[in-house]
Amino acid sequence: MVRHDIAIAEIIVQRLERLMDSVEYIELYRATGTAGGAVPRQALYREFCEAAGAMAEASALARMRMRSPAAGNAANIDFLVAKGVLDRRTGSRLKEADRLAQRLAAGQGCDAEDAALFRLAGSLRDFSAAVLAWLVR
């Protein structure tokens, strides 16, 4: 089982790296209003959806590593909160990020969503730090 746990941990780290690449892109966009040129809003939304997707995958893998079958995104986040990997506030914001990503992926984004997107990108960063800390325990 040790090799299996190591393999899952390596995949989790890969997902967290992908998440952080997207969060860094979003933060660069926020800081400069652009990321290396005129970037359409859709690119920003796509990056957020990538980050939220990586969070969902990492959550499911973390749950599997704890010998619990993965479930839906919200249930996986609740499980990580219950196990002390995430605090309740972060868990709540991650579920909000997941819902926002679903709206954006469905083409339902609007200017009013941008503030939430930038705020929730910070919660995705917090998720990454919490899961990395849990992995090294």
Domain ranges, ordered by start, for the chain: 2-135
Per the CB < 8 A criterion, the answer to whether 122 and 131 are in contact is no
The structural architecture, per CATH, of the domain 2-135 is: Up-down Bundle (1.20)
Task: Say what the alpha-carbon torsion angle 44, 45, 51, 53 is, to the nearest 10 degrees.
Answer: -160
Rg, C-alpha atoms of the chain: 15
Closest CA to 48 of 127, 108, 111, 120: 120
How far does Cα 85 stand from its chain's mean position? Answer: 14
- Spell out the per-residue pLDDT of the chain, length 137, in tens: 688 889 999 999 999 999 999 999 999 888 887 655 545 778 889 999 999 999 999 999 999 999 999 999 999 999 999 999 999 999 999 999 999 999 999 888 777 788 899 999 999 999 999 999 999 98
pTM: 0.92
The sign of the dihedral angle between the CA atoms of 119, 84, 52, 37 is positive
